[in-house]
């Protein structure tokens, strides 16, 4: 199971907004430059994230995008599911009841269910605030290593 660019780039964009939380709207051009993502592609992703009320836009010269809610209340799972849909290892465990005729007797369905539960648990257990915190720790560690050299 591999995420598409929608999920990967969308999460990167949300990370930039979380990293700049409290600093006002962030221009899409800045997000695109920092993450090396096409601005036009980001516009499409932001439109989807805006409809899902994960981001809000501000028009004008000082405009850009902001998180709709605090970074600590938006999980990786919230972002990924909006952009990618449900994360399931097999169609038979999708939430849309598209299960197979053999689901009662299928020996692998339980495996797929456990995988689905684990994937969702990880995605829902990490917030944008956690990502920002991890980023700051990595930056501090990198600085300490450079100072020792």
- Residues 63, 55: Cα–Cα separation, whole Å: 13
- Domain residue limits at 94: 5-148
pLDDT tens digits, 2-59? 899 999 999 999 999 999 999 999 999 999 999 999 999 999 999 999 999 999 999 9
Cα–Cα distance measured from residue 7 to residue 127, given in angstroms and rounded to the nearest whole number = 15
Count of structural domains, the chain: 1
User: Is the distance from CB of 25 to CB of 59 less than 8 angstroms?
Assistant: no
CATH number, domain with residue 33:
1.10.10.10
Task: Read off the pTM.
Answer: 0.88
pLDDT of residue 147 exceeding 90, the answer is no
DSSP readout, 58-95? E-STT-EEEESS-GGG-BHHHHHHHHH----SSGGG-T
Tokens standing for residue 144: 């300490």
pLDDT, one tens digit per residue, over 54-97 is 999 999 888 999 999 999 999 999 999 999 998 888 877 877 65
The answer for residues whose C-beta is within 8 angstroms of residue 13's C-beta and 6 or more apart is 31, 35, 37, 42, 45, 46, 49
Is the pLDDT score of 130 beyond 90? yes
| Contact status, residue 77 vs residue 101, Cβ threshold 8 Å | no
């Amino acid at each position: 199971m591999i995420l598409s660019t929608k999920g990967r780039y969308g999460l990167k964009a949300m990370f930039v907004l979380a990293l700049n939380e409290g600093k006002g709207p962030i221009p899409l051009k800045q997000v695109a430059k920092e993450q090396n993502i096409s601005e036009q592609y980001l516009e499409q992703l932001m439109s989807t994230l805006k409809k899902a009320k994960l981001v809000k836009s501000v028009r004008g010269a000082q405009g850009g995008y902001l998180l709709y809610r605090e970074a600590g209340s938006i999980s990786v799972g919230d972002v990924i599911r909006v952009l990618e849909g449900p994360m399931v290892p097999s169609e038979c465990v999708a939430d849309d009841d598209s299960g197979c005729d053999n689901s009662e007797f299928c020996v692998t369905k339980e495996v797929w269910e456990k995988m689905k539960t684990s994937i969702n648990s990880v995605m829902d257990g990490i917030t944008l605030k956690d990502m920002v915190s991890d980023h700051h720790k990595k930056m501090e560690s990198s600085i300490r290593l450079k100072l020792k050299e």
